Amino acid sequence: MEHTQIRAKLNASTVTQFILLRFYEIPNLQGFLFGMFLIIYLIILIGNSFITVITRIDPALQKPMYFFLANFSTLEVCYVSVTLPRILFNIATQGRHISVLSCGMPTYFYLMLGVTECFLLAVMSYDRYVAICNPLPYPLVMNPTKWTQLAAGSWLGGIPVQIVQTCQIFSLHFCNSNQIEHFFCDLLPILKLACGDTSMHELAVYLVAILFAVVPFIMRNASYSKIIATILRLPTATGQTKAFSTCSSHLLVVFLFFGSASVTYSRLKSTHFPGTDKDFSLFYTIVTPMFNSLIYSFRNNDVIGALRKLLCRKQWQHVCSKV
């Protein structure tokens, strides 16, 4: 028995580097992929930075809804910066190797920011619920102190759990291979390389996904069910249209993010398909943050109005006349 255990430990090679395989199977498209990802990254940076700045400087946007939107836009920049620069670097240099530490640190921040996004989207739905369903006490309930507390809780809520989970996953022995069938270090592809029985770690990933993704998603659905019921009871079509317009952008963002993320993290290693998971991960990691800034910019009249006021300053009069 002891001999078998010792032999198993010897066979479990100490992996010091991983190899990222995604995108290298199409060598003829490396230049196209680099240009496409660079353009997407610039769109995300410029679009979300614009929303953050304009919600800070425009007095008309000093409201809870836009305070949370500024936090969300900042989060999107941080979220995509964990993965995209590394992807661009790897494509440019054709470097596929990544150390365990360089793999583990981005994984932690990626997971932590993902939890923050789940919480922040829930907070934004709560804000819309109070504003539409309880408009009279809204200024008292959503005061500046409450804004700050909810935002801080969203940013800090996932830190301890993700520290523990990331350390547990990367402390495993990896003997199956050191090749990750993905474009970044994600938990499920990493677990696939681990030696022995990883069912408890898979279960932990599953439970964390339920706690930080599925439960907030259900809470958001409950909030918006009440919001929709309240809107439908409004006496005028104009009031209904205005109320729906304040929620439609947020609802679209919620379903874009959770529709892909929940599918990936609600499945265990034994039931997931690498190709499908990579497609879903690419969508909610890169594509969704790009759409979010466009959705919130072009589907929000207050943001468009703030843009017009910014352009209508004296030095931009010639632009303003054409807007």
Summarised one tens digit per residue, pLDDT across range 58-68 is 888 889 989 99
Calpha distance 43→38 (Å, rounded)? 9
Round the average pLDDT of the chain to a whole number and report it: 80
Calpha distance 155→137 (Å, rounded)? 26
pLDDT digits (tens, 9 = 90+) for 184-207: 888 888 888 888 888 888 888 888
Q: Does residue 208 contact residue 165 with C-beta atoms inside 8 Å?
A: yes
For the whole model, what pTM was predicted?
0.83
pLDDT for residue 270: 46
Radius of gyration of the chain (CA): 22
| CATH number of the domain where residue 254 is located | 1.20.1070.10
What is the CB neighbour count within 10 angstroms for residue 142?
Answer: 21
Question: What domain range is 63 assigned to?
Answer: 2-320
Q: Is the dihedral of CA 78, 62, 236, 298 positive or negative?
A: negative
Among the listed ranges 21-30, 74-83, 111-120, which one has the minimum average pLDDT value? 21-30
Which stretches of the chain are DSSP H helices? Answer: 2-11, 30-57, 64-81, 84-93, 100-133, 138-141, 144-156, 159-170, 187-192, 199-209, 215-232, 237-265, 274-282, 288-298, 301-311, 317-320
What's the gap between Cα 234 and its chain centre?
A: 34
Q: Which residues, 6 or more positions from 186, have their beta carbon under 8 angstroms from its beta carbon?
A: 107, 110, 277, 281
Q: Does residue 186 contact residue 91 with C-beta atoms inside 8 Å?
A: no
- Full strand arrangement of the beta sheet holding 179-180: 97-99, 17-20, 179-180
Q: How many angstroms separate the Cα of 64 from the Cα of each of 132, 213, 299?
A: 13, 23, 18
Number of compact structural domains in the chain: 1
pLDDT digits (tens, 9 = 90+) for 244-303: 776 777 777 777 776 666 555 555 444 445 555 566 667 777 878 888 777 777 667 777
Letter for the amino acid at 318? H
pLDDT of 219 over the 80 cut: yes
Calpha distance 62→148 (Å, rounded)? 13
pLDDT for residue 286: 83
pLDDT of 4 over the 60 cut: no
- 270 exposed, middle or buried (CB, 10 Å; 0-12, 13-18, 19+)? exposed
Give 5's pLDDT tier (boundaries 50, 70, 90). Answer: very low
